[in-house]
Amino acid sequence: MPDVMGRNRNDKALTGKRAVLLLALCLTFSGCALWGQDSPGQGDAVSAAAGTGTESESADAEARDGAGAPGEHSEAAVPNPVSGVGESGESGTSTSHAEPGSDVREGTESGASSGRGMSDSSVNQGNESEPSDEQGTEAGLPAGQEGVSASASEPDNGKDDGYDFTVCFAGDINLDENWGTTHFLDAQENGIYDCISGELTEIMQSADIMCLNNEFTYSTGGSPLPGKAYTFRAMPERVEVLRQLGVDAVTLANNHVYDYGKEALLDTFAVLEEAEVPYFGAGRTLEDAMKPLYLEADGKRIALVGASRAEKNKMTPQATETEPGILRCYDTELYLQAIQEGKENADFCIAFVHWGTEYSYDLEQVQLETGKAYLDAGADAVIGAHSHCLQGMEYYDGKPIIYSLGNYWFNEKTLDTMLLQLHFTGTEEDGQLEVQVIPAVQAGYRTTYTAEAKEQRRIYDFLESISVNVEISDEGIVKETE
- Of 161, 51, 85, 98, nearest in space to 425 by CA: 161
Give the whole-angstrom CA distance, residue 132 versus residue 460: 40
Phi, psi of 13 (to 5 degrees): -155, 170
Which segments of the chain have a pLDDT < 50? 5-155
For residue 157, the model assigns a pLDDT of 56
Q: If we measure between CA atoms, which residue out of 367, 381, 215 comes closest to residue 303?
A: 381
Contact 8, 207 (CB under 8 A): yes
Q: What is the pLDDT of residue 159?
A: 63
Q: Supply the pTM of this predicted model.
A: 0.72
pLDDT, residue 10, reads: 42
Quote the pLDDT of residue 258: 98
Q: How many residues does the chain have?
A: 482
Tell me how far apart the alpha carbons of residues 134 and 92 are, in angstroms, rounded to a whole number: 9
Strand partners, 233: 217
> What is the C-alpha separation between 213 and 172, in angstroms, rounded?
5
Name the class of domain 1-482: alpha beta
Residue 355: count other Cβ atoms within 10 Å of its Cβ. 24
pLDDT of residue 158: 56
SS3 99: coil
For 367, the enclosing helix (H) or strand (E) is helix 365-376
pLDDT the model gives residue 225: 97
Query: What is the pLDDT at residue 112?
Result: 36
Q: How many CB atoms lie within 10 A of CB 250?
A: 29
DSSP 148-209: --TGGGS--TT----EEEEEEEEEEE---TTSHHHHHHHT-TTGGGGTB-HHHHHHHHHSSE
Could you give the percent of the chain with pLDDT greater than 90? Answer: 66
Q: Coil, strand or helix: which one is 270?
A: helix
Residue 411, exposed/middle/buried by CB under 10 A (0-12, 13-18, 19+)?
A: middle
